[in-house]
Protein backbone atom coordinates (compact mmCIF):
# COMPACT_ATOMS: atom_id res chain seq x y z
CA UNK A 1 0.00 0.00 0.00
CA UNK A 2 1.18 3.49 -0.86
CA UNK A 3 1.40 6.47 1.47
CA UNK A 4 1.89 10.17 0.77
CA UNK A 5 -0.21 10.09 -2.39
CA UNK A 6 -0.74 13.43 -4.10
CA UNK A 7 -3.99 14.89 -2.61
CA UNK A 8 -4.95 16.08 -6.08
CA UNK A 9 -4.88 12.51 -7.35
CA UNK A 10 -7.14 11.40 -4.49
CA UNK A 11 -9.62 14.23 -5.11
CA UNK A 12 -9.78 13.68 -8.87
CA UNK A 13 -10.09 9.90 -8.47
CA UNK A 14 -12.96 10.38 -6.04
CA UNK A 15 -14.58 12.94 -8.32
CA UNK A 16 -14.36 10.64 -11.33
CA UNK A 17 -15.86 7.69 -9.46
CA UNK A 18 -18.62 9.89 -8.00
CA UNK A 19 -19.41 11.26 -11.47
CA UNK A 20 -19.66 7.77 -12.96
CA UNK A 21 -21.73 6.43 -10.05
CA UNK A 22 -24.16 9.37 -10.09
CA UNK A 23 -24.76 9.07 -13.85
CA UNK A 24 -25.03 5.28 -13.66
CA UNK A 25 -27.61 5.54 -10.90
CA UNK A 26 -29.79 7.77 -13.07
CA UNK A 27 -30.49 4.69 -15.20
CA UNK A 28 -30.41 1.70 -12.82
CA UNK A 29 -33.45 2.33 -10.58
CA UNK A 30 -35.75 2.82 -13.57
CA UNK A 31 -34.52 -0.50 -14.97
CA UNK A 32 -35.17 -2.23 -11.63
CA UNK A 33 -38.72 -0.95 -11.27
CA UNK A 34 -39.95 -0.67 -14.85
CA UNK A 35 -38.98 -4.28 -15.60
CA UNK A 36 -41.43 -5.49 -12.93
CA UNK A 37 -44.19 -3.10 -14.05
CA UNK A 38 -43.81 -4.35 -17.64
CA UNK A 39 -43.94 -7.97 -16.45
CA UNK A 40 -47.10 -7.25 -14.43
CA UNK A 41 -48.82 -5.62 -17.40
CA UNK A 42 -47.87 -8.49 -19.68
CA UNK A 43 -49.20 -10.96 -17.11
CA UNK A 44 -52.60 -9.22 -17.30
CA UNK A 45 -52.42 -9.38 -21.11
CA UNK A 46 -51.69 -13.13 -21.10
CA UNK A 47 -54.46 -13.83 -18.57
CA UNK A 48 -57.11 -11.66 -20.28
CA UNK A 49 -56.02 -11.79 -23.91
CA UNK A 50 -56.99 -8.12 -24.32
CA UNK A 51 -54.90 -6.34 -26.95
CA UNK A 52 -54.91 -3.01 -25.11
CA UNK A 53 -52.78 -4.60 -22.37
CA UNK A 54 -50.36 -5.79 -25.04
CA UNK A 55 -50.15 -2.25 -26.43
CA UNK A 56 -49.53 -0.93 -22.95
CA UNK A 57 -46.86 -3.54 -22.25
CA UNK A 58 -45.00 -2.84 -25.50
CA UNK A 59 -45.09 0.92 -24.92
CA UNK A 60 -43.49 0.74 -21.47
CA UNK A 61 -41.16 -2.01 -22.67
CA UNK A 62 -39.77 0.34 -25.31
CA UNK A 63 -38.94 2.96 -22.68
CA UNK A 64 -37.41 0.23 -20.52
CA UNK A 65 -35.19 -0.87 -23.41
CA UNK A 66 -33.84 2.62 -24.07
CA UNK A 67 -32.94 3.04 -20.42
CA UNK A 68 -31.50 -0.49 -20.06
CA UNK A 69 -29.02 -0.09 -22.91
CA UNK A 70 -27.53 3.15 -21.60
CA UNK A 71 -27.40 1.89 -18.01
CA UNK A 72 -25.27 -1.08 -19.09
CA UNK A 73 -22.73 1.22 -20.75
CA UNK A 74 -22.16 3.34 -17.64
CA UNK A 75 -22.05 0.27 -15.37
CA UNK A 76 -19.20 -1.32 -17.32
CA UNK A 77 -17.11 1.85 -16.98
CA UNK A 78 -17.79 1.94 -13.24
CA UNK A 79 -16.38 -1.57 -12.71
CA UNK A 80 -13.29 -0.83 -14.81
CA UNK A 81 -12.46 2.13 -12.56
CA UNK A 82 -11.73 -0.21 -9.65
CA UNK A 83 -8.78 -1.55 -11.58
CA UNK A 84 -7.58 1.71 -13.12
CA UNK A 85 -8.05 4.24 -10.31
CA UNK A 86 -8.27 2.09 -7.19
CA UNK A 87 -5.72 -0.68 -7.71
CA UNK A 88 -4.46 -0.64 -4.10
CA UNK A 89 -8.00 -1.21 -2.92
CA UNK A 90 -8.57 -3.92 -5.53
CA UNK A 91 -5.43 -5.72 -4.42
CA UNK A 92 -6.28 -5.49 -0.71
CA UNK A 93 -9.80 -6.93 -1.10
CA UNK A 94 -9.87 -8.47 -4.58
CA UNK A 95 -10.50 -11.99 -3.32
CA UNK A 96 -13.70 -10.84 -1.62
CA UNK A 97 -14.91 -7.84 -3.60
CA UNK A 98 -14.36 -9.56 -6.93
CA UNK A 99 -16.50 -12.61 -6.10
CA UNK A 100 -19.92 -10.88 -5.97
CA UNK A 101 -19.08 -8.86 -9.08
CA UNK A 102 -18.07 -12.05 -10.91
CA UNK A 103 -21.34 -13.73 -9.89
CA UNK A 104 -23.22 -10.66 -11.07
CA UNK A 105 -21.57 -10.88 -14.48
CA UNK A 106 -21.85 -14.65 -14.90
CA UNK A 107 -25.31 -15.24 -13.43
CA UNK A 108 -27.40 -12.08 -13.24
CA UNK A 109 -26.18 -10.18 -16.30
CA UNK A 110 -26.20 -13.38 -18.37
CA UNK A 111 -29.81 -13.96 -17.33
CA UNK A 112 -30.79 -10.42 -18.28
CA UNK A 113 -28.93 -10.30 -21.59
CA UNK A 114 -30.21 -13.72 -22.68
CA UNK A 115 -33.89 -13.11 -22.13
CA UNK A 116 -33.99 -9.41 -22.96
CA UNK A 117 -33.58 -10.41 -26.62
CA UNK A 118 -36.64 -12.67 -26.39
CA UNK A 119 -38.48 -9.93 -24.53
CA UNK A 120 -37.98 -7.39 -27.32
CA UNK A 121 -37.83 -9.51 -30.47
CA UNK A 122 -39.87 -12.55 -29.47
CA UNK A 123 -43.33 -11.13 -30.04
CA UNK A 124 -45.16 -13.48 -32.47
CA UNK A 125 -42.03 -15.73 -32.56
CA UNK A 126 -42.49 -17.57 -29.26
CA UNK A 127 -45.58 -18.50 -27.31
CA UNK A 128 -47.27 -15.93 -25.06
CA UNK A 129 -46.33 -17.83 -21.92
CA UNK A 130 -42.67 -18.19 -22.90
CA UNK A 131 -42.52 -14.49 -23.75
CA UNK A 132 -44.08 -13.67 -20.39
CA UNK A 133 -41.55 -15.93 -18.67
CA UNK A 134 -38.76 -14.05 -20.47
CA UNK A 135 -40.09 -10.71 -19.22
CA UNK A 136 -40.19 -11.95 -15.63
CA UNK A 137 -36.69 -13.43 -15.91
CA UNK A 138 -35.36 -10.07 -17.13
CA UNK A 139 -36.95 -8.38 -14.10
CA UNK A 140 -35.58 -11.00 -11.73
CA UNK A 141 -32.17 -10.81 -13.43
CA UNK A 142 -32.06 -7.04 -12.95
CA UNK A 143 -32.72 -7.47 -9.22
CA UNK A 144 -30.12 -10.25 -8.99
CA UNK A 145 -27.63 -7.95 -10.66
CA UNK A 146 -28.36 -5.26 -8.08
CA UNK A 147 -28.09 -7.83 -5.28
CA UNK A 148 -24.51 -8.85 -6.03
CA UNK A 149 -23.29 -5.31 -6.59
CA UNK A 150 -24.87 -4.23 -3.32
CA UNK A 151 -23.35 -7.22 -1.50
CA UNK A 152 -19.92 -6.00 -2.65
CA UNK A 153 -20.69 -2.43 -1.60
CA UNK A 154 -22.07 -3.55 1.78
CA UNK A 155 -18.88 -5.49 2.52
CA UNK A 156 -16.95 -2.24 2.20
CA UNK A 157 -19.13 -0.79 4.96
CA UNK A 158 -19.11 -3.87 7.17
CA UNK A 159 -16.22 -6.21 6.29
CA UNK A 160 -17.20 -9.72 7.44
CA UNK A 161 -16.53 -13.33 6.50
CA UNK A 162 -12.85 -12.85 5.72
CA UNK A 163 -9.36 -13.39 7.07
CA UNK A 164 -6.24 -11.34 6.37
CA UNK A 165 -3.35 -13.15 4.68
CA UNK A 166 -0.06 -11.43 5.61
CA UNK A 167 1.82 -13.33 2.89
CA UNK A 168 -0.16 -11.68 0.10
CA UNK A 169 -1.35 -8.61 2.07
CA UNK A 170 -4.87 -9.45 0.98
CA UNK A 171 -8.16 -10.17 2.66
CA UNK A 172 -9.48 -13.59 1.66
CA UNK A 173 -13.05 -14.83 1.87
CA UNK A 174 -13.62 -17.48 4.52
CA UNK A 175 -17.42 -17.46 4.80
CA UNK A 176 -19.40 -16.72 1.62
CA UNK A 177 -22.72 -16.82 3.47
CA UNK A 178 -21.55 -14.22 6.01
CA UNK A 179 -20.71 -11.92 3.10
CA UNK A 180 -24.03 -12.58 1.33
CA UNK A 181 -26.19 -12.20 4.44
CA UNK A 182 -24.22 -9.30 5.88
CA UNK A 183 -26.90 -7.22 7.70
CA UNK A 184 -25.80 -4.14 5.76
CA UNK A 185 -26.23 -6.05 2.48
CA UNK A 186 -29.73 -7.25 3.40
CA UNK A 187 -30.88 -3.74 4.36
CA UNK A 188 -29.16 -2.12 1.41
CA UNK A 189 -30.63 -4.54 -1.15
CA UNK A 190 -34.20 -4.30 0.12
CA UNK A 191 -34.03 -0.51 0.46
CA UNK A 192 -32.41 -0.03 -2.95
CA UNK A 193 -34.75 -2.19 -5.01
CA UNK A 194 -37.81 -0.72 -3.29
CA UNK A 195 -36.50 2.77 -4.14
CA UNK A 196 -36.24 1.62 -7.76
CA UNK A 197 -39.83 0.38 -7.65
CA UNK A 198 -40.97 3.76 -6.30
CA UNK A 199 -39.02 5.66 -8.95
CA UNK A 200 -40.40 3.59 -11.83
CA UNK A 201 -43.95 3.84 -10.48
CA UNK A 202 -43.68 7.64 -10.30
CA UNK A 203 -42.18 7.66 -13.81
CA UNK A 204 -45.13 5.67 -15.19
CA UNK A 205 -47.71 7.78 -13.34
CA UNK A 206 -46.11 11.04 -14.44
CA UNK A 207 -46.08 10.10 -18.13
CA UNK A 208 -49.61 8.70 -17.87
CA UNK A 209 -50.68 12.03 -16.34
CA UNK A 210 -49.26 13.78 -19.43
CA UNK A 211 -51.49 11.65 -21.67
CA UNK A 212 -54.50 12.57 -19.54
CA UNK A 213 -53.59 16.26 -19.70
CA UNK A 214 -53.36 15.96 -23.50
CA UNK A 215 -56.58 13.86 -23.54
CA UNK A 216 -54.80 11.04 -25.37
CA UNK A 217 -54.91 7.31 -24.66
CA UNK A 218 -57.02 8.01 -21.57
CA UNK A 219 -58.02 4.40 -20.89
CA UNK A 220 -54.47 3.11 -21.19
CA UNK A 221 -53.15 5.99 -19.08
CA UNK A 222 -55.61 5.22 -16.28
CA UNK A 223 -54.70 1.54 -16.37
CA UNK A 224 -51.04 2.46 -16.13
CA UNK A 225 -51.77 4.70 -13.14
CA UNK A 226 -53.70 1.83 -11.53
CA UNK A 227 -50.80 -0.63 -11.80
CA UNK A 228 -48.11 1.94 -10.95
CA UNK A 229 -50.15 3.44 -8.11
CA UNK A 230 -50.70 0.12 -6.33
CA UNK A 231 -47.12 -1.02 -6.92
CA UNK A 232 -45.75 2.39 -5.95
CA UNK A 233 -47.78 2.72 -2.75
CA UNK A 234 -46.80 -0.76 -1.57
CA UNK A 235 -43.17 -0.08 -2.48
CA UNK A 236 -43.08 3.34 -0.78
CA UNK A 237 -44.43 1.87 2.46
CA UNK A 238 -41.86 -0.93 2.28
CA UNK A 239 -39.20 1.69 1.48
CA UNK A 240 -39.99 3.49 4.76
CA UNK A 241 -39.75 0.20 6.66
CA UNK A 242 -36.41 -0.77 5.11
CA UNK A 243 -35.08 2.75 5.67
CA UNK A 244 -35.85 2.46 9.37
CA UNK A 245 -34.17 -0.95 9.53
CA UNK A 246 -31.14 0.37 7.67
CA UNK A 247 -30.77 3.30 10.08
CA UNK A 248 -30.78 0.90 13.04
CA UNK A 249 -28.06 -1.20 11.42
CA UNK A 250 -25.96 1.87 10.64
CA UNK A 251 -26.25 3.06 14.25
CA UNK A 252 -24.71 -0.25 15.34
CA UNK A 253 -22.11 -0.83 12.61
CA UNK A 254 -21.23 2.70 11.42
CA UNK A 255 -22.01 4.89 14.43
CA UNK A 256 -20.04 7.92 13.22
CA UNK A 257 -22.05 7.98 9.97
CA UNK A 258 -25.25 7.71 12.00
CA UNK A 259 -24.23 10.57 14.28
CA UNK A 260 -23.29 12.68 11.25
CA UNK A 261 -26.66 12.39 9.51
CA UNK A 262 -28.37 13.11 12.83
CA UNK A 263 -25.89 15.97 13.52
CA UNK A 264 -25.53 14.51 17.01
CA UNK A 265 -22.41 16.02 18.60
CA UNK A 266 -23.09 15.10 22.24
CA UNK A 267 -24.38 11.75 23.41
CA UNK A 268 -27.78 11.80 25.10
CA UNK A 269 -30.15 9.73 27.16
CA UNK A 270 -33.79 9.93 26.04
CA UNK A 271 -32.40 11.21 22.74
CA UNK A 272 -34.98 12.91 20.51
CA UNK A 273 -35.16 12.33 16.77
CA UNK A 274 -34.65 15.48 14.70
CA UNK A 275 -37.40 15.41 12.07
CA UNK A 276 -35.82 18.42 10.41
CA UNK A 277 -33.63 21.37 11.28
CA UNK A 278 -31.25 24.01 9.98
CA UNK A 279 -27.58 23.75 10.91
CA UNK A 280 -24.94 26.36 11.56
CA UNK A 281 -21.48 26.37 13.11
CA UNK A 282 -21.37 26.05 16.88
CA UNK A 283 -17.86 27.43 17.34
CA UNK A 284 -16.92 24.22 19.15
CA UNK A 285 -14.21 22.20 17.43
CA UNK A 286 -12.65 18.76 17.52
CA UNK A 287 -9.15 19.35 16.26
CA UNK A 288 -9.60 21.60 13.26
CA UNK A 289 -13.18 20.55 12.52
CA UNK A 290 -16.11 22.63 13.73
CA UNK A 291 -19.12 20.80 15.10
CA UNK A 292 -22.61 21.93 14.04
CA UNK A 293 -25.48 23.34 16.06
CA UNK A 294 -29.10 24.03 15.14
CA UNK A 295 -30.65 27.38 14.27
CA UNK A 296 -33.96 25.60 14.76
CA UNK A 297 -35.15 21.99 14.76
CA UNK A 298 -38.31 19.93 14.96
CA UNK A 299 -37.83 17.03 17.38
CA UNK A 300 -39.76 13.91 18.32
CA UNK A 301 -38.98 13.19 22.00
CA UNK A 302 -37.14 9.94 22.91
CA UNK A 303 -37.53 8.48 19.40
CA UNK A 304 -33.82 8.24 18.58
CA UNK A 305 -33.22 6.19 21.74
CA UNK A 306 -36.17 3.96 20.86
CA UNK A 307 -34.95 3.53 17.26
CA UNK A 308 -31.43 2.53 18.21
CA UNK A 309 -32.12 0.29 21.20
CA UNK A 310 -35.85 -0.12 21.70
CA UNK A 311 -35.63 1.73 25.03
CA UNK A 312 -36.53 5.40 25.39
CA UNK A 313 -34.12 5.77 28.33
CA UNK A 314 -31.15 4.40 26.39
CA UNK A 315 -28.00 6.45 25.85
CA UNK A 316 -27.25 7.33 22.23
CA UNK A 317 -23.54 8.17 21.71
CA UNK A 318 -22.56 11.35 19.88
CA UNK A 319 -19.63 12.29 17.69
CA UNK A 320 -17.58 13.34 20.71
CA UNK A 321 -17.99 9.87 22.24
CA UNK A 322 -16.53 8.18 19.17
CA UNK A 323 -13.82 10.74 18.50
CA UNK A 324 -12.65 11.45 22.06
CA UNK A 325 -13.77 8.13 23.57
CA UNK A 326 -16.13 7.27 26.42
CA UNK A 327 -14.75 4.69 28.82
CA UNK A 328 -18.03 4.49 30.76
CA UNK A 329 -19.78 3.29 27.59
CA UNK A 330 -16.86 1.14 26.40
CA UNK A 331 -16.17 3.36 23.39
CA UNK A 332 -12.55 3.69 22.25
CA UNK A 333 -11.24 7.07 21.09
CA UNK A 334 -9.76 7.53 17.63
CA UNK A 335 -6.33 7.87 19.23
CA UNK A 336 -6.72 4.52 21.00
CA UNK A 337 -7.87 2.88 17.78
CA UNK A 338 -4.93 4.43 15.93
CA UNK A 339 -2.51 2.99 18.49
CA UNK A 340 -4.01 -0.47 17.99
CA UNK A 341 -3.97 -0.03 14.22
CA UNK A 342 -0.28 0.91 14.33
CA UNK A 343 0.47 -2.25 16.32
CA UNK A 344 -1.31 -4.30 13.63
CA UNK A 345 0.55 -2.54 10.86
CA UNK A 346 3.91 -2.87 12.62
CA UNK A 347 3.22 -6.58 13.07
CA UNK A 348 2.72 -6.81 9.30
CA UNK A 349 5.95 -4.91 8.62
CA UNK A 350 7.82 -7.13 11.07
CA UNK A 351 6.41 -10.20 9.33
CA UNK A 352 7.57 -8.97 5.94
CA UNK A 353 11.03 -8.24 7.37
CA UNK A 354 11.21 -11.71 8.97
CA UNK A 355 10.38 -13.26 5.60
CA UNK A 356 13.07 -11.22 3.87
CA UNK A 357 15.57 -12.38 6.51
CA UNK A 358 14.21 -15.96 6.36
CA UNK A 359 13.79 -15.93 10.13
CA UNK A 360 11.49 -18.95 10.38
CA UNK A 361 11.06 -18.72 14.13
CA UNK A 362 9.93 -15.09 13.98
CA UNK A 363 7.74 -15.87 10.97
CA UNK A 364 5.94 -18.55 12.96
CA UNK A 365 5.40 -16.27 15.97
CA UNK A 366 4.01 -13.41 13.89
CA UNK A 367 1.89 -15.65 11.70
CA UNK A 368 0.19 -17.02 14.83
CA UNK A 369 -0.68 -13.45 15.77
CA UNK A 370 -2.58 -12.93 12.53
CA UNK A 371 -4.36 -16.24 13.05
CA UNK A 372 -5.34 -15.37 16.62
CA UNK A 373 -8.95 -14.18 16.92
CA UNK A 374 -8.08 -11.86 19.80
CA UNK A 375 -5.46 -10.07 17.70
CA UNK A 376 -7.93 -9.72 14.84
CA UNK A 377 -10.70 -8.35 17.06
CA UNK A 378 -8.57 -6.01 19.14
CA UNK A 379 -5.85 -4.88 16.75
CA UNK A 380 -6.25 -5.78 13.07
CA UNK A 381 -9.87 -4.62 13.21
CA UNK A 382 -8.44 -1.07 13.47
CA UNK A 383 -5.71 -1.51 10.84
CA UNK A 384 -6.87 1.49 8.81
CA UNK A 385 -6.52 3.85 11.77
CA UNK A 386 -2.74 3.51 11.45
CA UNK A 387 -3.03 5.84 8.45
CA UNK A 388 -5.21 8.46 10.19
CA UNK A 389 -3.23 11.62 10.96
CA UNK A 390 -5.67 13.36 13.32
CA UNK A 391 -8.88 12.34 15.15
CA UNK A 392 -11.13 14.77 13.29
CA UNK A 393 -10.18 13.09 10.02
CA UNK A 394 -12.73 10.33 10.71
CA UNK A 395 -15.63 12.81 10.91
CA UNK A 396 -17.50 12.86 7.57
CA UNK A 397 -18.97 16.00 6.01
CA UNK A 398 -21.80 16.54 8.51
CA UNK A 399 -23.84 19.16 6.66
CA UNK A 400 -24.03 17.07 3.48
CA UNK A 401 -24.93 13.91 5.41
CA UNK A 402 -27.59 15.65 7.55
CA UNK A 403 -29.41 17.41 4.71
CA UNK A 404 -29.15 14.43 2.35
CA UNK A 405 -30.72 12.14 4.92
CA UNK A 406 -33.53 14.42 6.02
CA UNK A 407 -34.50 15.55 2.52
CA UNK A 408 -34.55 11.91 1.41
CA UNK A 409 -36.87 11.01 4.30
CA UNK A 410 -39.20 13.94 3.59
CA UNK A 411 -39.44 12.93 -0.08
CA UNK A 412 -40.18 9.34 0.97
CA UNK A 413 -43.26 10.42 2.94
CA UNK A 414 -44.29 12.71 0.07
CA UNK A 415 -44.30 9.72 -2.30
CA UNK A 416 -46.66 7.83 0.02
CA UNK A 417 -49.03 10.81 -0.09
CA UNK A 418 -48.85 11.15 -3.90
CA UNK A 419 -49.49 7.45 -4.57
CA UNK A 420 -52.39 7.43 -2.09
CA UNK A 421 -54.04 10.48 -3.69
CA UNK A 422 -53.57 9.03 -7.19
CA UNK A 423 -55.40 5.84 -6.22
CA UNK A 424 -58.16 7.73 -4.39
CA UNK A 425 -58.82 10.00 -7.40
CA UNK A 426 -58.60 7.03 -9.77
CA UNK A 427 -61.09 4.89 -7.86
CA UNK A 428 -63.60 7.72 -7.38
CA UNK A 429 -63.39 8.52 -11.09
CA UNK A 430 -62.15 12.10 -10.76
CA UNK A 431 -58.49 11.81 -11.72
CA UNK A 432 -59.11 13.02 -15.28
CA UNK A 433 -60.65 16.25 -14.01
CA UNK A 434 -57.97 16.92 -11.39
CA UNK A 435 -55.65 18.77 -13.75
CA UNK A 436 -53.74 20.35 -10.88
CA UNK A 437 -52.94 16.87 -9.57
CA UNK A 438 -51.98 15.60 -13.02
CA UNK A 439 -49.44 18.41 -13.30
CA UNK A 440 -48.12 17.47 -9.86
CA UNK A 441 -47.68 13.88 -11.06
CA UNK A 442 -45.85 15.04 -14.17
CA UNK A 443 -43.48 17.35 -12.34
CA UNK A 444 -42.90 14.77 -9.61
CA UNK A 445 -40.97 12.49 -11.99
CA UNK A 446 -37.56 13.97 -11.02
CA UNK A 447 -38.22 13.71 -7.25
CA UNK A 448 -37.51 9.96 -6.84
CA UNK A 449 -34.32 10.44 -8.88
CA UNK A 450 -33.30 13.15 -6.42
CA UNK A 451 -34.16 10.99 -3.40
CA UNK A 452 -32.29 8.01 -4.83
CA UNK A 453 -29.15 10.04 -5.53
CA UNK A 454 -29.34 11.61 -2.06
CA UNK A 455 -29.39 8.11 -0.60
CA UNK A 456 -26.14 7.22 -2.33
CA UNK A 457 -24.54 10.55 -1.45
CA UNK A 458 -25.40 9.84 2.19
CA UNK A 459 -24.03 6.29 1.94
CA UNK A 460 -20.71 7.24 0.39
CA UNK A 461 -20.08 10.63 2.01
CA UNK A 462 -21.22 9.35 5.39
CA UNK A 463 -18.54 6.65 5.59
CA UNK A 464 -15.63 8.89 4.72
CA UNK A 465 -12.68 8.73 5.16
CA UNK A 466 -13.09 4.96 4.73
CA UNK A 467 -13.20 2.98 1.52
CA UNK A 468 -13.35 -0.11 3.77
CA UNK A 469 -14.75 0.70 7.18
CA UNK A 470 -11.90 0.88 9.73
CA UNK A 471 -9.54 -1.15 7.51
CA UNK A 472 -8.56 1.15 4.65
CA UNK A 473 -8.94 4.92 4.22
CA UNK A 474 -9.58 6.30 0.76
CA UNK A 475 -6.26 8.12 0.66
CA UNK A 476 -4.22 4.90 0.47
CA UNK A 477 -6.60 3.04 -1.87
CA UNK A 478 -5.87 4.95 -5.08
CA UNK A 479 -3.63 3.82 -7.91
CA UNK A 480 -0.22 5.46 -8.20
CA UNK A 481 -0.95 7.18 -11.49
CA UNK A 482 -0.82 10.70 -12.84
CA UNK A 483 -3.46 13.08 -11.50
CA UNK A 484 -3.55 14.71 -14.94
CA UNK A 485 -4.63 11.44 -16.58
CA UNK A 486 -7.51 11.11 -14.11
CA UNK A 487 -8.45 14.74 -14.68
CA UNK A 488 -8.48 14.22 -18.45
CA UNK A 489 -10.73 11.16 -18.25
CA UNK A 490 -12.99 12.97 -15.78
CA UNK A 491 -13.83 15.65 -18.32
CA UNK A 492 -14.06 13.05 -21.07
CA UNK A 493 -16.63 11.15 -19.01
CA UNK A 494 -18.53 14.38 -18.29
CA UNK A 495 -18.94 14.82 -22.04
CA UNK A 496 -19.79 11.18 -22.78
CA UNK A 497 -22.23 10.68 -19.91
CA UNK A 498 -23.98 13.99 -20.54
CA UNK A 499 -24.33 13.09 -24.21
CA UNK A 500 -25.79 9.69 -23.25
CA UNK A 501 -28.25 11.32 -20.84
CA UNK A 502 -29.36 13.86 -23.44
CA UNK A 503 -29.72 11.06 -26.00
CA UNK A 504 -31.84 8.97 -23.63
CA UNK A 505 -34.12 11.86 -22.73
CA UNK A 506 -34.52 12.83 -26.41
CA UNK A 507 -35.33 9.29 -27.54
CA UNK A 508 -37.72 8.76 -24.65
CA UNK A 509 -39.55 12.02 -25.30
CA UNK A 510 -39.94 11.03 -28.94
CA UNK A 511 -41.38 7.64 -27.98
CA UNK A 512 -43.72 9.20 -25.42
CA UNK A 513 -45.04 11.70 -27.98
CA UNK A 514 -45.67 8.82 -30.39
CA UNK A 515 -47.54 6.92 -27.68
CA UNK A 516 -48.55 3.25 -27.70
CA UNK A 517 -48.60 1.68 -31.16
CA UNK A 518 -51.89 0.52 -32.63
Longest dimension (CA), the chain: 85
Cα(211)–Cα(216) distance, integer angstroms? 5
In a domain, 218, yes or no: yes
For residue 232, the number of C-alpha atoms closer than 13 Å in the C-beta half-sphere is 32
Closest CA to 114 of 98, 92, 130, 93: 130
Classify strands 289-300 and 268-269 as parallel, antiparallel or unpaired: unpaired
Whether residues 156 and 225 share a domain: the answer is yes
In a domain, 194, yes or no: yes
Whether residues 188 and 337 share a domain: the answer is no
* Domain enclosing residue 372, as ranges: 257-395
pTM equals: 0.90
Cα(386)–Cα(339) distance, integer angstroms? 7
Whether residues 280 and 346 share a domain: the answer is yes
Q: Taken in order 34, 36, 40, 45, is the CA torsion positive or negative?
A: positive
* Chosen domain end from 365, 395, 425: 395
Whether residues 282 and 373 share a domain: the answer is yes
Q: Taken in order 423, 425, 429, 434, is the CA torsion positive or negative?
A: negative
Whether residues 206 and 316 share a domain: the answer is no
In a domain, 366, yes or no: yes
Whether residues 345 and 441 share a domain: the answer is no
In a domain, 108, yes or no: yes
Whether residues 29 and 134 share a domain: the answer is yes
In a domain, 517, yes or no: no
How many separate domains does the chain show? 2
Give pLDDT, residue 297: 87
Which residue(s) pair with 162 in the sheet? 173
Chain-centroid distance of CA 71 in Å reads 16
Residue 372's SS3 state is coil
Whether residues 109 and 190 share a domain: the answer is yes
Phi-psi label, residue 164: left if phi above 0, alpha if psi -120 to 50, beta otherwise: beta
The dihedral formed by the CA atoms of 129, 135, 136 and 142, expressed in degrees to the nearest 10? 160
In a domain, 2, yes or no: no
In a domain, 224, yes or no: yes
* Chosen domain end from 332, 363, 395: 395
In a domain, 365, yes or no: yes
The dihedral formed by the CA atoms of 207, 208, 214 and 216, expressed in degrees to the nearest 10? 130
Q: Chunk the chain into consecutive blocks of 10 residues (it has 518) and report each block's average pLDDT, rounded to whole numbers.
A: 66 87 87 93 93 91 85 73 81 80 76 82 88 92 88 90 87 89 93 94 96 91 94 95 89 89 87 87 79 87 85 88 88 93 92 88 87 89 91 89 91 95 94 93 95 90 89 88 86 89 89 84
Which residue(s) pair with 466 in the sheet? 473
Q: Enumerate long-range contacts of 372-379, CB under 8 Å, 24 or more apart.
A: 375/344, 375/347, 376/163, 376/164, 378/340, 379/340, 379/341, 379/343, 379/344, 379/347
Whether residues 237 and 322 share a domain: the answer is no
Whether residues 107 and 216 share a domain: the answer is yes
Whether residues 380 and 505 share a domain: the answer is no
Which one-letter DSSP state was computed for residue 50? -
Give the Cα-Cα-Cα angle 8, 5, 76 (nearest 5 degrees).
70
Whether residues 160 and 307 share a domain: the answer is no
Backbone angles phi, psi at 299, to 5 degrees: -115, 150
* Chosen domain end from 374, 395, 416: 395
Amino acid sequence: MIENINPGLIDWSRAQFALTAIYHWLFVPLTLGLSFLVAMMETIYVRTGKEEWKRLTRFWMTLFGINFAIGVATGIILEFEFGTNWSNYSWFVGDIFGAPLAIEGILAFFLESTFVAVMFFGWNKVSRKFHLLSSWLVAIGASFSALWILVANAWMENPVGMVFNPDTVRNEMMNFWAVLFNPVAVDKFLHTISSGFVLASMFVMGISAWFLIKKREELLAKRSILIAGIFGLASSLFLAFTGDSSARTIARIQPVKFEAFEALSDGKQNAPLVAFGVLHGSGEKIGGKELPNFIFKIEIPDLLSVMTSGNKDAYVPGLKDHIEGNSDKGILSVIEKAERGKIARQTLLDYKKAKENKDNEQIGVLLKKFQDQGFRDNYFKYFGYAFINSPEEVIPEIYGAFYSFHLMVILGFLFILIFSLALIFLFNGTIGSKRWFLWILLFSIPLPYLASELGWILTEMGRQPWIIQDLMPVKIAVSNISADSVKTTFFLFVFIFTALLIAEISIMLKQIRLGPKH
